[in-house]
Structure 1
Amino acid sequence: MLKFNSKNTPSKLRRGLLAGFATFALSSHCYTALAANLSQGPQITKAPKLILVLVVDGLPNEQVQRYRHQFGEGGFKRLLEQGAWFGNAHQAHGITVTAVGHSAVLTGAYPYQHGIIGNNWFDPNTSTSVYCTEDRQHTYIGTETKSSDGTSPANLKVSTVGDELRYATGNRSKVLTVSGKDRGAILLAGKTGTAYMLMKKTGAFASSTYYMNQHPAWHTAFHASKPQDRFYGKQWTNVLPEHAYHDDAHDDVVAPANTTSSKRLPYTYDSASGKPDAEYYEKLFTGPYVDELTLDFANAAIDGEKLGNNPTGATDILGVSLSSHDYVNHTWGPESKMSHDHLQRLDRLLAKFLNNVDKKVGLDNTLVVLTADHGFANVPEFSQSIKRDANRLDGNKMSAALNQHLFEKFGVEKLIRKWSAPYFFFDYSKVESKGITRTELENTAARFILNYQGVASTYTRTQFEQGQVPNDRISRLVQRAWHKQLSGDLMVVVKPYWYFGSTNSGTSHGTPYTYDTNVPLIFMGKPWFKAGAYSNYAEVMDIAPTLSHLLRLRLPSGSEGRVLTETLK
């Protein structure tokens, strides 16, 4: 403690010190008052019995807004009217793909922390390809498992809201997730939840030995009648009158003849064998029926696990990732009639599901969150038709051209160890032995790639490591996506409306542009949220801290989002 003798201290200094202590005392008083006011801010009136997290794979926010006038009662319309929804919400990182987006939802973390940097990536230490949720120590239950199949969250480096909830309740809370994709379920479930994913070979949902040794009785009962086979021979046709689609892109643009996307509505679900098989089950993903099956399974889980009616009174979490919109948009683009119709069908499925939740748990007891893992670019041919500079960029051809340029510059062959979009990995040892620095290699490669058709910008390992990345929006997003131990040495960002691909049709996602980052974000629950449209900037990363605040939980370990206090009652 600071001490001074008033008799021996000059009067001017003494007056200054006394004034300082008075100011400190006043500041302390103000801080105490501020803390008291903050403690009287939004307070949770009751804990939800169920937190329902809905993730629509590959749903751009603009589609929700563009087609909202056609939604029926009880689905998206209920969420938009009764919920707090953000029109300016984003997946705020630079590599907008399924695994990264799903990781963000309940961790509140960016890729540089949570460690899921893509659906697949190249491990520079082992020189092998890594799938985001692969774990060779575990297998699917009752189903053939390949070495690269997704069976556990081993690669996820941080905790989720579900993990923190189970920790806080002594594992009394249940966390269960379901998806058509393994990564959609596993990365929502976190380390301590339970994930179920649809098997493409059998059309059945399965978990893995990471979670349990055998499936529960309700799971067996659900599959007893083979519900996945009931769609065989069915056609996907318009749910709305034909004139409702007049503003959509023409089929000849998004599904031209002699391309992989040439099929149009009506779309028949069958197989060459004439009976349900792996070909048929895989077909189901492109259209409304996998989503219907997923929601049916989620309903069975609510009953089987008593989700939202936990005998201990603890809050449960149910995560449902709906995979099919991603497949539809990849095939035909978000501007297509097919995508438009699929969203309308999904709306009707969500209405039915939410009505069931209301009957079994009560929507006043349920906190609902709806978002998406990423948006989508338009099909390049459509973009070209409205005078945009758009196309597909073949990364393998670009890699070959760069390798040749580096050979001509340095006289060393195969300086690229691997191209794994959007990264180049270099073999630094080959140039260092010749007295060429890493920075020289990176800069030479970056200059060449910047002049390559379809490329907007590049970022080198040195830039990332030394904090030399520019302070603009795109650069901030790619910085968050780059992981020091896992990511590559040169990152490539394509021009707007371009994407990495080598097919002759369809489209994709993965860029830091707003059509890929802007996704729906809606919270619904009368006891907790003020309904309305919010224009504030928000991120998917804000879901985790907002839920943690309401549940009075410790924040997930990598969470960087903010609590969306403007929505709270």
Structure 2
Amino acid sequence: MTKKLSLPVLAIATTCFALHAGAIAAPAAKATSASAQPKLVVVLVVDGLPNEQVQRYRDQFGEGGLRRLLDQGASFSNAHQAHGVTVTAIGHSAVLTGAYPYVHGIIGNNWIDPVTKKSVYCTEDTNYTYIGEHTDPSDGTAPTKLRVDTLGDQLRYATGNRSKVVAVSGKDRGAILLAGKTGTAYMYMEQTGNFASSTFYMKSHPAWVQTYQTAKPQDRYYGKAWAPLLPESAYAGDASEELTPAKPGGHNRLPYTYYSESGKTDAGYYNNLKTGPFLDQLTLDFAQAAIEGENLGRNPDGVPDLLGVSLSAHDYVNHAFGPESKLSHDHLQRVDRMLAQFFNYLDKRVGMDNVLVVLTADHGFANTAEFSQSRHLDAQRIKGDQLMKDLGKHLSDKFGGAKLLTAWSLPSVHLDYEQIEKSGLRRADVENTAAQFLLQQKGIADVFTRTQFESGAVQGTRMATLMRRAWNRESSGDLLVVTKPYWYFGYGDTGTTHGSPYAYDTNVPLLIMGKRWIKPGNYGQYAEVVDIAPTLANILRVRPPAGAEGRVLTETLR
């Protein structure tokens, strides 16, 4: 049974569609003949990669990786994850659904269930477990919470499930949200260093996965050092270690050797591998094994296959040290060389003339507060728990002692509407009181309320547009809090994060390469990550995913 949308929700949907109306205004793209379809579409997501880093370090890239994409593909300098809460799960969902959070339902990595008031994880589903691996109740095992389909789902539907869709990532959400409902996801297991799938996708691993796991390639990096790839002079512009402080007991300089306290390969070692280049190398190695094991790109009837690869380590490195650090700089250079090797492999295995490659990111990154301060910027970390404790006390004092703040997963805050009504209060009055209190606190730029969202009052500015797209009527909280530029919610005194509607978090690379379909060049037109799915659907001649609102990037098509 189909439910009718309320007028405010319809208004939101209509406005969001109109804001990206290039999908309507753009001229129709030329149809691609079936014989000219790619044999393999490879969608690469570098987790936590700001476009600024690609541009800043591009002269140091080798010939075959990122430079190959920049020189031989279409490169958008003004591409964005165009929603207001820029985190991994939302960004990965955007890539192949073409949808915003208010439609696809993934509103964060974690969020508060409005009914139970308990935290839920974006890909958790206790009906399923990892295959051959320990599974905690909150582990990511299935795309159950993703409310729409993906390009891969449409491709499999159009080909009668003959097309294969496989996604691989260092994070479960990175793989699951690219694989969609009918693909297959494999994710890194930090307890064992294996890549494994879940019982949502299959009962047991195919033979090629079992063979791969038996070889234990993850153990080859024990005792190996991550050392600088380039001459020391190449890092002259990077922030000093004093501006990228490490956590107590941690490191913030190279070389760094991977080992464990036990003196052998164990969970501590496998977890440490995540912050550095070796996790990404393992991910690409497993992707190659998947190409061979599933024979991707070699279907006898010519139908295309889709491979999603999410490289997770750059996010871990940037969180720990900041995108201005030597470690982040070096890590991106290593990703570039890994991609060159991967593209060479694809050329030999499938032939790059038969492959369409897309590279983007799920979000950018803020600089560390210390680095921003050194640039005379107003920047600090905000202790979110203390802020919420102060807000709860303020509401209680203001409204007769009632506990009106129930839960939060910043930037989303939940109020107790039932208690508000029992106390004879108006929802809007409590929301506005909370918003006004937050706006008086250091580092808070804006606060949007449920009443504003539902009445259609949130409009008129780009920030309003991005925050409206990020808010889901059924799942989101009752307040959505926006920090000032360069301020961010943080626990502790080191590292940095992402999640804001500002350009350093939204502006990501968007590179598309495939000489039979794509016109190379540097494109200054505004583009969004949600444009990827409609563009690929056009080339593959399949229906766009149901929630897609992006446009076909017709300017890039041959």
Query: Is the TM value for this pair above 0.5?
Result: yes
Quick one: which amino acid aligns to residue 447 of structure 1?
Answer: Q
Distance 1:107 1:282 in 2: 30
- SS of residue in 2 equivalent to 1:230: helix
Deviations 1:60-92 (A, max 9, x none): 000000000000110000000000010000000
**What letter is aligned with 2:261?**
A
Partner AA of 1:324 in structure 2: A
Native 8 Å contact 1:255 1:264 kept in 2: no
Flag the 1:39–1:498 CA change in 2: closer, same or farther, 3 A.
closer
- Superposed CA deviations along residues 417-443 of structure 1, whole A, max 9, x for unmatched, are 002110110012222223210000000
Alignment of 1:407-486 (within 5 A): 407-486=396-475
Query: 2:48 maps to what in 1?
Result: 58
The equivalent of 2:12 in structure 1 is: none
Out of 521, 526, 548, the residue aligned to residue 510 of structure 2 is 521
Alpha-carbon contact 1:261-1:505 (below 8 Å) kept: no
- Which of 113, 119, 126 in structure 1 is aligned with 2:116? 126
Q: In structure 2, give the amino acid aligned to 1:356.
A: Y
Distance 1:431 1:65 in 2: 51
Question: Tell me, which stretches of 5 or more residues in structure 2 are unaligned?
Answer: 1-23
Contact 2:50–2:505 (8 Å) recurs in 1: yes
1:526: how far off? 0.3
Query: Hey, what's the Cα distance between the residues in 2 that align with 1:224 and 1:141?
Result: 14
Where does 1:225-374 land on structure 2 (aligned, <5 Å)? 225-255=215-245, 259=248, 262-374=251-363
* Structure 2 contact 252–321 (Cα < 8 Å) conserved: no
Deviations 1:136-159 (A, max 9, x none): 100000001000000000000001
Q: Deviations over 1:403-422 (max 9, x none)?
A: 11112211133210002110
Task: Note the alpha carbon deviations across 1:354-399, whole angstroms, 9 max, x for none.
Answer: 1000100011100000000000000000001111000111111111
Counting aligned pairs with the same residue, the percent is 63
- In the alignment, which residue of structure 2 is the partner of 1:390? 379
CA distance, structure 1, for counterparts of residue 557 and residue 304 of structure 2: 19
1:170 corresponds, among 143, 160, 170, to: 160
Corresponding letter in the other structure for 1:491: L
Q: Tell me the distance in 2 between the aligned counterparts of 1:201 and 1:230.
A: 16
Kept in 2: contact 1:260–1:505 (CA 8 A): no
**Alignment partner, residue 4 of structure 2:** none
User: Secondary structure at the residue paired with 1:139?
Assistant: coil
Task: Provide the residue aligned with 1:117 in structure 2.
Answer: 107
Question: Separation in 2 of the partners of 1:253 and 1:495?
Answer: 21
**What are the Cα deviations for residues 337-356 of structure 1, in whole angstroms up to 9, with x where unaligned?**
00000000110000000100
Q: Secondary structure at the match of 1:121?
A: strand
Contact 1:50–1:308, Cα closer than 8 Å, also in 2: yes
| Distance across 1 between alignment mates of 2:87 and 2:421 | 35
**For the Cα contact (< 8 Å) 2:113–2:475, is it kept in 1?**
yes
Q: CA offset at residue 470 of structure 1? A: 3.0
Hey, what's the Cα distance between the residues in 1 that align with 2:413 and 2:249? 28
What residue in structure 1 maps to residue 179 of structure 2?
Answer: 189
Match of 1:144 in 2: 134
Describe the shift of the 1:552–1:240 C-alpha distance in structure 2 as closer, same or farther (beyond 3 A). Answer: same
Q: Secondary structure at the match of 2:215?
A: coil
Could you tell me which residue of structure 2 aligns to residue 32 of structure 1?
Answer: none
Q: Quick one: distance in 2 between partners of 1:185 and 1:260?
A: 31
Over residues 220-278 of structure 1, what are the superposed CA-to-partner deviations in whole Å (9 max), with x where a residue is unaligned?
Answer: 1112221000000011110000010000001111026x746543211110001101100
CA distance in 2, matches of 1:433, 1:147: 35
Give the structure-2-normalised TM-score. Answer: 0.94
Matched, 1:553 2:546: no
Q: 1:475 to 1:260 in 2, by over 3 A?
A: farther
Amino acid at match of 1:524: M
Q: What is residue 541 of structure 1 aligned with on the other side?
A: 530
For the Cα contact (< 8 Å) 2:79–2:510, is it kept in 1? yes
Conservation of the 8 A alpha-carbon contact between 1:261 and 1:332: no
Name the amino acid aligned to 1:421: L
Distance between the aligned counterparts of 2:123 and 2:342, measured in 1?
28
State which of 482, 500, 522 in structure 1 corresponds to 2:489: 500
Alpha-carbon shift at residue 203 of structure 1 (Å):
0.1
Q: Contact 1:68–1:77 at 8 Å: present in 2 too?
A: yes
Q: Does 1:90 align with 2:55?
A: no
Q: Distance in 2 between matches of 1:135 and 1:431?
A: 32
Q: Which among 92, 97, 122 is matched to residue 102 of structure 1? A: 92
| Correspondent of 2:369 among 342, 364, 380 | 380
Contact kept, 8 Å, 2:241 with 2:252, in 1: the verdict is no
Change (3 A) 1:436 1:39: closer
Counterpart in the other structure of 1:29: none
The one-letter code matched in structure 2 to 1:279 is G
Cα distance in 1 for partners of 2:287, 2:32 equals 30
Task: Say if 1:42 and 1:568, in contact at 8 Å, map to a contact too.
Answer: no
Which AA in structure 2 matches 1:78?
R
Q: What amino acid sits opposite 1:465 in the alignment?
A: E
Contact 1:261–1:506 (8 Å) recurs in 2: no
Q: How many residues align?
A: 533
Contact kept, 8 Å, 2:404 with 2:419, in 1: the verdict is yes
Q: Is the 8 A contact 2:165 2:179 kept in 1?
A: yes
SS of 2:253's equivalent? coil
Counterpart residue identity of residue 426, structure 2: T
**Aligned residue identity for 1:242:** E
Runs of 4+ displaced beyond 3 Å: 37-45, 258-263
For normalisation by structure 1, the TM-score amounts to: 0.92
CA contact (8 A) 2:91 2:363 kept: yes
Contact 2:366 2:498 in 1 (8 A): yes
Residues 187/507 of structure 1: CA separation in 2 closer, same or farther (3 Å cut): same
Stretch of structure 1 that moved more, 304-313 or 38-47: 38-47
1:77 aligned to which of 33, 48, 67:
67
Secondary structure, counterpart of 2:154 in structure 1: helix
Question: Which ranges of structure 1 fall in alignment gaps of 5 or more residues?
Answer: 1-34
CA contact (8 A) 2:415 2:478 kept: yes
Q: Does 1:401 align with 2:390?
A: yes
CA–CA distance in structure 2, aligned partners of residues 522 and 118 of structure 1: 25
Contact 2:381 2:489 in 1 (8 A): yes
Instruction: Give the RMSD, CA atoms, in angstroms.
Output: 1.4
Q: For structure 1, which segment, 38-47 or 266-275, has the greater mean C-alpha deviation from structure 2 after superposition? A: 38-47
SS of 1:493's equivalent in the other structure is: strand
Mapped to 2, the partners of 1:434 and 1:539 lie a distance apart of 45
Matched, 1:217 2:199: no
CA contact 1:259–1:505 (8 Å) conserved in 2: no
